[in-house]
Structure 1
Amino acid sequence: MSRRVIRTLLVLSVISIIGILTMQTLWVVKAYRLGERQFRQTAFIALQDVAEQVARLNRVTLGCDAVSQLSSDYFIVNTHSPVDPVTLEHFITQSLRQHNLITDFEYGIYSCESNRMIYGNYVSPQVHARRTASALPLLQTPEFTYHFGIRFPNQARFIASGLDNFIISTVAVLLVVLFFGYTLFIVLRQRRLADVQQDFINNITHELQTPVSTIRIAADVLRSEGIAEQPERLKQYARVLHEESLRLQKQVQDVLQLARSERMRFALNPQEVDLHDTLRRLAALYQPHVILQLDAPSPVIQADPYHLENIIRNLLDNAVKYCTGTPCITIRTRNEGNQLLWSVRDNGIGIAQEYHEKVFRQFFRIPTDRMHTVKGFGIGLYYVRKVIQAHRWQIRLQSEEGKGSEFVIVSI
C-alpha cells in the first residue's frame, strides 16, 4: 500500500471520526433540550394542579395564569388565598409524584400582610430529608397577593438521568472511536517500522556490497599471474584488501553489537572509570584532529568500560565522517556539583533543528546529498542514546546546519 493511499485513508478516517463525534454531541444536546422542555411543561401542569387544589380548599376562583416561570428552574404559583405550609407541601409532593417529577425542590410561601416570606423548606422525596430553604426571590405585585415560589435545584441532574440510553450509546461510540484510533495508530506505526526496516536492509546491502566487491576484485588481482613480479602493485592491493576487510569487520560488529544490546537490554558491568584516561587513549587514534580540554577535577565515574568506549568511538567517527573539510574535534570535560559533563564538538555539516530528536532513532539517517557517500547504517546515535539511558545519564544535542554539532553528556 503506497504512502499516498495511507495518507488518504488517514484523512478520511479523521474526517469520519470528527463527523461521528459531532453528530453524537448534537444528538445528546438535542435530547437534553427536549428533556428540559418536557420537564418545564410537566412542572407547569403539576403546579397548576396544586393551585387548583388550594383554590378548591379555600373556595376561591383561580385565574388562568396561576403559574409563571421566572427562570429555567424557578416557578411562581398564585394561590389567590392563604395556605397552610403542611397542606401546601403535601399538595406539591403528591402532584409531582403523580407527574413523575421525583426530584428535590425548595419552596417558600409569601404573605401579603407582612410583605415577606413566612415559610420555606427544602424537600428531598427520595431520602425524605428536609432542611431550611434559602431565600427565594418572590414577586411583590398586586397580581400576586398570595403566592408561593418553588425551585428545582437538581433539575439538570434529573433530566440527565432520563438520558441513560443516550449516554450509554455515546460512551459506546467513544469506545469504538478510541479502539479504531488505536488500531489505526498501530497500523501506521507498523507501516513506519516496515519502511524503516526496508531502508535499513537496502542501506546495509549497499554498505556491505561495496567492501565485498572490493575484496573480491583485490583477491582476483592477487591471484593473477605475474603479480609477484610487481611488488608495488602487490603491496597496494594487499593494503586495499586489509583496509576493506577491516571495514567489513567493523560494519558486521556494529550490527552484531546492536542486536546483542537489543536482546540483552544492556547488561551493564559498571566500574570506576577515569574518563580522562579513556578520552586520551581514544583521542590518540584520531590525531591530529582532536583537541582535549580536560578541565574536570574529578573525572572518575561509574560506567561500563566497553560501552563507554563504544559511544566515544561513535561520536568521534561521526565527527570525522560528517566533515567536508579538515576535521577539528574538541573534547571538553567539567564538573558541576556532583555531575561530570563532557562533550564532543566538531566542525562538520551540522544537524538542522527538525532532526535533533530524529537522529537518535533506530536506522534513521538525515536525507542529504551525502547520504550514500557517508557510510553507515543509522544505528550509531541510537546505540549511543541507549547506552546513556542505561547508565541513567543524559545527552543533549546542540547543532545548527552548516555550523557543526556538539553532543553534551551529563554523567553522575
Structure 2
Amino acid sequence: MSRLRLLVLLSVLSIIGILAVQVVWVRNAYALRERQFRQSAFIALQDVADEVARLNHFTLNRYAVTQLSDDYFIVNTDAPIDPAALETFIQGSLQAHNLITDYEYGIYNCETDRMVYGAYVGTSTLTKGRLQSIRNLPKFPRYTYYFGIRFPNQAGFVAGQLTGWVWSTVAVLLVVLFFGYTLSVVLKQRRLTEVQRDFINNITHELQTPVSTIRVAADVLQTDGITQQPNRLKQYARVLGEESQRLQKQINSILQLAKSERTGFVLERTDVNLHELMAEAAHQFAPHITLDLTATHANLYADRYHLETTLNNLIDNALKYCDKSPRIVLHTRQEHGKLIWSISDNGIGIAPKHQKAVFQQFFRVGSGHTHNVKGFGLGLYYVRQVVRAHGWQLALTSEPGQGSTFTIITKSEKVKERKSEKLTLNESLFRSFAL
C-alpha cells in the first residue's frame, strides 16, 4: 500500500511539473513574440517616417519613433503630414514587415492642439472609419508634427503566432488526461481487488461455519450409540437441518445476485399486502419489533418474494448491527397518494461519509465492530437492486450511535385482478422513469 501511495504521489508531482514547465514555456514564448512585434512595429513605423520625410524632400537625422505604451507609438515627422499618403505608407510598411493586424491612427494638428484625421483600419475587412472624439489618441508635447498609431488587437495577433505552442500544450494536456485516467483505473482496479479479497475472506468464513457444524453433527449421528439417545438424535438432526438451510440460503443469495448482474431481476408481480408481510416479520423476529402501521391502503403490485426478502434483510441488519437490546419499528403512512414505509432501529448507526457506499456491492464499513458481524456485504446492495427494479425510491437517515432509518417510497395500489407480470430490471427502470 505504501508503494502505491508513493507511486500516486510521484505521478501527481510529475503531472504538476509537466504542466508548470508547459506554462512557463508558453509565457516565455508569448513574451518573446510580443518583443518581436514591438521591434517589427518600431522598424515599420521608422520606415513610414522616412517615407514622409522623402515626400517632404528632407532627411531625418534621428530615430522618429517613441513608444508610449505596450500598443501605442508616436512617430515624429518634423513636417506637415498628408493623411492620404500617410495611410498608404502605414499600410505598405506594416504589410512589408508581416504585421497584418488592425490599427488606428491619428495626426496631431498644432492649430487645434488635437489629434485629427483619425481612422480605424481593420485588416480582416479592410474597412476604416473616422475616430470619434471619445477615441482621440493621446498627444505628445515634445513634437510639433507627428502622428500616433495604436494596435488594439496586438495580444490576439501575438497569440496567433503561437499556434505551434498551443497545439503542443493541447498534446501535453491530452497526455496528462490519459495518464490521469490510467492512474484512476489502476486505483479503481486495486480497490476492486481489495473488495474481492475481503469478499472471498468473508464468504470463506461464512461458509466454513455451517460446513463445520454439519460435519460435526454428521459425525455424531454416525456413532454407534446415537440411536439409543433419541433426544440427542433429534437435537443433532435439528442442527443438521438448520445449518443446511443456512448454507443453502447463503449460496442462493450469492447465486441470485450473480444471476441478477447478468440478466437483471425477474419480477413476478402480484398484489401484496405490506401490512401482512410486516405482521409476519414481527412475529418471526419477536419480541424486538414494534408495528406502527398507519397507512390506510398498504397494497402493492410487487414481487412478494423479493419484497419479503428485502424486509427481512433490513430487519436482520438492524438486529446484527446493534450493541444494546434491539428495538425495531416498522412504520407505514400515506402521503400524497404514495405509500411510505420505513424500518427504524436503535443500532450503532452509519456515518454520513459511508451512507452512499453501504449500498455498493461487497462494501462493509471499516470498523472493528461491523467486521466482527457475519455477512458478505450484499444485503443492502440487494435491497437497492430490488427497490430500483420496482421503480421505488430508497432513502437512508442515520447518525453514529443514534440508529438508522431506511425509508422506501412506493405507490400504493388497490387490489384488483391482474395477470402475473415478469419484468427485467432494465424494463422496470424504464417504466419508472417513463412515469
Q: What TM-score do you get using the length of structure 2 for normalisation?
A: 0.88
Q: Structure 2 unaligned segments of length 5 or more: list them.
A: 412-435
Q: Secondary structure at the match of 1:210?
A: helix
Partner amino acid, structure 2, of 1:185: S
Q: 1:105 to 1:162 in 2, by over 3 A?
A: same
Q: 1:120 to 1:342 in 2, by over 3 A?
A: same
Match of 2:152 in 1: 153
Q: Secondary structure at the match of 1:350?
A: coil
1:19 pairs with one of 11, 17, 20: 17
- Alignment partners' CA distance in 2, 1:45 and 1:223: 110
- Alignment partners' CA distance in 1, 2:228 and 2:297: 59
Match of 1:72 in 2: 70
Partner amino acid, structure 1, of 2:255: L
- Alignment partners' CA distance in 1, 2:23 and 2:141: 46
Kindly state the Cα deviation for residue 141 of structure 1 after the two structures are TM-superposed.
4.8
Partner amino acid, structure 1, of 2:260: S
- Alignment partners' CA distance in 2, 1:306 and 1:73: 79
CA RMSD of aligned residues (A): 2.0
Does 2:122 match 1:124?
Answer: yes
- Paired residues for 1:340-351 under 5 Å: 340-351=339-350
Match of 1:252 in 2: 251
Deviation per CA, 1:112-155, whole angstroms, max 9, x where unpaired? Answer: 11223332222123432333445444344542322222111221
Q: How many residues are aligned here?
A: 410
Match of 2:185 in 1: 186
Q: 1:180 to 1:223 in 2, by over 3 A?
A: same
Contact kept? 1:60, 1:80, Cα under 8 Å: no
Does 2:376 match 1:377?
Answer: yes
- Alignment partners' CA distance in 2, 1:133 and 1:265: 72
Contact kept? 2:345, 2:404, Cα under 8 Å: yes
What percent identity do the matched residue pairs reach?
A: 59
- Paired residues for 1:77-92 under 5 Å: 77-92=75-90
Q: 1:229 to 1:372 in 2, by over 3 A?
A: farther
Contact kept? 1:110, 1:138, Cα under 8 Å: no
Match of 2:201 in 1: 202
Q: 1:270 to 1:115 in 2, by over 3 A?
A: farther
Match of 2:311 in 1: 312
Question: Larger relative contact order (C-alpha < 8 A, sep ≥ 6)?
Answer: 2
Q: 1:345 to 1:47 in 2, by over 3 A?
A: same
Q: 1:272 to 1:58 in 2, by over 3 A?
A: farther
- Alignment partners' CA distance in 2, 1:303 and 1:137: 79
Q: Structure 1 unaligned segments of length 5 or more: list them.
A: none
Q: 1:207 to 1:92 in 2, by over 3 A?
A: same
Match of 2:424 in 1: none
Q: 1:170 to 1:140 in 2, by over 3 A?
A: closer
Contact kept? 2:117, 2:130, Cα under 8 Å: no
Match of 1:41 in 2: 39
- Paired residues for 1:96-175 under 5 Å: 96-133=94-131, 135-175=134-174
Deviation per CA, 1:385-409, whole angstroms, max 9, x where unpaired? Answer: 2222333433222222222211122
Deviation per CA, 1:168-216, whole angstroms, max 9, x where unpaired? Answer: 1111111111111111111111111111111111110111011001001
Kindly state the Cα deviation for residue 110 of structure 1 after the two structures are TM-superposed.
2.4
Match of 2:417 in 1: none
Q: 1:54 to 1:269 in 2, by over 3 A?
A: farther
